[in-house]
Amino acid sequence: MALMNWENKYSVGVAEMDAQHLKWIGILNRLHEAMLAGKAQDLQRSILSEIVAYTRTHFLQEELMLKTRGYPMLAAHRVLHVDFARQVQDIETKLQAGVSVLTIDIMEFLKSWLAKHILTQDTQYGSWLKQH
């Protein structure tokens, strides 16, 4: 059972970004599957490290695309990316230091942020790109 399923409402109308968002959801679902199998503690660090790395990659590619296309809200969009990346990095740092962080809390945070960001900020640039 997936924590988050891809739905058409998540499409921003840019195939590359949709594919990256789908991959991000897949990583999140792997963490969820590990938790359901009782292996979350074993895989938590490695999957979160993968999320941190993929977040950097995705944000850089998305921001480059938006810069190239002249998206006027890029600066505000980038601020949200920086804040999220910092929050995820903070969780990873805690885990590396041996601080216990509940997997369910990590998953709910990631799912909530990702869904909200795609449905508000990313679909906003998607609409803008269709017009320009």
Q: How many angstroms separate the CA atoms of 57 and 62, rounded?
A: 9
Mean pLDDT (the chain) is 91
Say how far apart CA 98 and CA 114 lie, in whole Å. 26
Is residue 5's pLDDT more than 90?
yes
Domains observed in the chain:
14-131 (1.20.120.50)
What pLDDT, in 10s, does the model give residues 70-112? 999 999 999 999 999 999 989 888 888 888 888 888 889 999 9
The pLDDT score that the predictor gives to residue 63 is 97
At 65 the pLDDT is 96
- Give tens-digit pLDDT for 105-121: 888 999 999 999 999 99
Q: Is the pLDDT of residue 41 over 80?
A: no
Query: Does the pLDDT of residue 43 top 80, yes or no?
Result: no
The reported pLDDT for the residue numbered 46 is: 86
Report pLDDT for 71.
97
pTM for the model stands at: 0.89
**pLDDT value of position 121:** 95
> Which residue carries 């002249």 as its tokens?
70
User: How many separate helices (H) and strands (E) can be counted in the chain?
Assistant: 5, 0
